[in-house]
Amino acid sequence: MIRNIKYRIRKDDPTGFEDAIRLVEQYPEDPHAWDTVAYAHEARKDYPAAIAAISRAIELNPKDPALFFDRGEYALQTGDHERAVADFGQGLILCDEPRWEYLREVLHFLRAEAFVHLGKKAEALADLSHVRDDYRFWTTELRSKADLLVMCGESVPPPKEQEQEEEPPVTSPVMSETPDEEEAALAKELGEAGLAAVDAALLKQVIYRYQKAARVIVDALDFGRYPLDDTHVRLFARRLIALAESGAIVARGNLLNPRRSEVGLPEKP
């Protein structure tokens, strides 16, 4: 239900917002319902309302670092950098649990930006030491680690050219090198226009370097309202490989295994 509501919100369908409000009326003690309302307000750029809704979700589930991540992002958008620092910091504390480890880098990155705006450059640099050199993320705009280092007054050397490492033979338990009958039938059913729509849905999700290919595929399935089944996942993964081979995106790792590979947009010249 929530996936469908969020999809309609992304599509600017007013019924998505209306159903998000109904959701909290039906389930006022469910943090997921309040998170959905916050998402609806964020889509309308009503960040004070989004903060109020996500704060209620935090009251109901104070151990979820993703909620502090969201509220910190909303605070960053409103210029409340003190609150952003506090929320990103609490998110980092809660990331000590292994299942939340994936949030650690982005929380350090976002807190670094908040520290920069507060004039606390030493603290910002300390956070950036936990972030990969090629990292990018959308804060108030698309920023890279190099951007934040410059904002801290640091000189950033030009990127070193890395020698191309020889890739090991491509093997994967996730999908075969060639489509099976089900995948081929699905591709035929979609046709050229349908496959172009799949590519567009994938590209829509590749917003910074780098993020897990598996995450991009699931988000693209959700974005296009495709069913989340094995055949669609394999087809989307193969289209992602084709986009990488064409140069539309860049990738690292074994793209035949989306769980172990990452994709992103090419660097602009």
* pLDDT of 85 higher than 90: yes
The pLDDT of residue 37 is 95
Q: How many angstroms separate the CA atoms of 28 and 230, rounded? A: 35
Q: How many CA atoms lie within 13 A of 134 on its CB side?
A: 17
CA 94 to chain centre: 19
Q: In what helix (H) or strand (E) does residue 250 lie, and over which residues does it extend?
A: strand 250-252
Q: For 181-264, which CATH class? A: mainly alpha
The pLDDT of residue 255 is 79
Q: How many angstroms separate the CA atoms of 190 and 1, rounded? A: 25
| Burial of 119 (C-beta count, 10 Å sphere; 0-12/13-18/19+) | exposed
CA dihedral over 15, 16, 18, 23, signed as positive or negative? positive
Mean pLDDT along residues 224-236: 81
Q: In what helix (H) or strand (E) does residue 144 lie, and over which residues does it extend?
A: strand 142-144
* pLDDT of 164 higher than 50: no
* Lookup: tokens for 7: 């999809």
Range with lowest mean pLDDT among 60-64, 80-84, 95-99: 95-99
The residue type at 229: D
The pLDDT of residue 167 is 37
Question: In terms of pLDDT, which residue wins out, 260 or 64?
Answer: 64
**pLDDT-derived band at 117, boundaries 50, 70, 90:** very high
**pLDDT-derived band at 158, boundaries 50, 70, 90:** low
H helix intervals, the chain: 2-10, 14-26, 31-43, 47-60, 65-78, 81-94, 104-117, 121-128, 145-151, 181-205, 213-223, 230-246
Residue 243: CB atoms within 10 Å:
20
Can you give the residue ranges of every domain in the chain?
A: 2-151, 181-264
- Whether omega for the bond prior to residue 39 falls within 30 degrees of 0, making it cis, is no
Range with lowest mean pLDDT among 53-62, 100-109, 220-229, 245-254: 220-229
Mean pLDDT along residues 220-236: 80
Measuring CA to CA, which residue among 135, 179, 134 is closest to residue 160?
Answer: 134
| Burial of 85 (C-beta count, 10 Å sphere; 0-12/13-18/19+) | buried
Q: In what helix (H) or strand (E) does residue 137 lie, and over which residues does it extend?
A: strand 136-138
Check: CATH 1.25.40.10 for 2-151? yes
* pLDDT of 92 higher than 50: yes
* pLDDT of 80 higher than 90: yes
Q: How many angstroms separate the CA atoms of 146 and 162, rounded? A: 18
Q: How many angstroms separate the CA atoms of 73 and 38, rounded? A: 12
Identify which of 18-22, 134-138, 166-170 has the greatest average pLDDT: 18-22
CA dihedral over 20, 23, 25, 31, signed as positive or negative? negative
Q: In what helix (H) or strand (E) does residue 262 lie, and over which residues does it extend?
A: strand 262-264
**pLDDT-derived band at 121, boundaries 50, 70, 90:** very high
**pLDDT-derived band at 11, boundaries 50, 70, 90:** confident
Task: Give the chain's mean pLDDT.
Answer: 85
Does this chain's domain 2-151 share its CATH topology with 181-264? Answer: no
234-259 pLDDT, tens digit per residue, is 888 899 999 988 888 888 887 777 77
